[in-house]
Chains A and B, each alone.
Chain A
Amino acid sequence: MKNKIKVFRAMHDLTQEDLAHAIGVTRQTILAIEKGKYVPSLDLAFKIARHFQVNIEEVFQYDEPYMSVDID
């Protein structure tokens, strides 16, 4: 799961601490999400997206595993 939290934080001039405080998690959680160490729950992902007033897909991108398709 990729995300653009860092980009959105920069756009809104927010520190990790500010964002963490605003959505009710610890700064370490924001850092872990940004670094891809932790995949947030749907609830938390929506909270983050809502905080930046964008759709969830704009913040989080699901890495589709490569699937081979047989073409006849």
Chain B
Amino acid sequence: MKKNSFYVLTGCIALVLLAVFWYSVEIHNPIPIEIVFVAGIAVIYFARRTVTDLIEDERSAKITEKAALRTFQVFWVLFCAFSIGAVMQILYIPTFPRDKFLDHPPEILGPRLMGYVQLGLLCLMIFLYVAFRIYYARKYGDWETDEE
């Protein structure tokens, strides 16, 4: 498969995912988008292995590796901070009515809010990754120009 065909395929899969997402919203069932998402990513991974044009060498691998590592370093701190905050809310710390808590656990962080927060963190992670990628690509000479 040629590099451009791979990019077109990736774009098509993204469109399909978007369509299935809205279909899942319509039918109030998350299963279709979850299955199609995993399948779509698997197809992209397999298709990428069949690309014959050179799209990655050790420098681009290093850029990817560094960007992923930095994203992870930032993300786990934010995720831990959020999780600690969520646990504290659930436990009503510091106003901790222990006797009432066991009978009526508070529902501050419902599943809907949790979903939004997860989506927000995921978007943040993607933006962070793109930003780090741009930074390291620039650092390792991706946009250098030459007289040739």
A residues whose Cβ falls under 8 Å from a Cβ of B: 15-16, 24-26, 28-29, 31-32, 34-35, 37-38, 40-41, 43-44
Contact = CB atoms under 8 A, between A and B. Distances in A.
Contacts of A32: 59, 140-142, 144
Given A26-B60, A31-B144, 18 more contacts: A15-B148, A24-B54, A24-B57, A25-B57, A25-B58, A25-B59, A28-B141, A29-B57, A32-B59, A34-B146, A35-B146, A37-B140, A37-B141, A37-B144, A40-B59, A41-B58, A43-B58, A44-B58
Contacts, number: 46
Interface residues of B, number: 13
Interface of B: 54, 57-60, 62, 139-142, 144, 146, 148
Interface of B is mostly: loop
A38 B140 CA distance: 5
> Chain A CB within 10 Å — which of B62, B141, B144 has the most?
B141
A29 B141 CA distance: 8
Contacts of A35: 141, 144, 146
Contacts of A43: 58
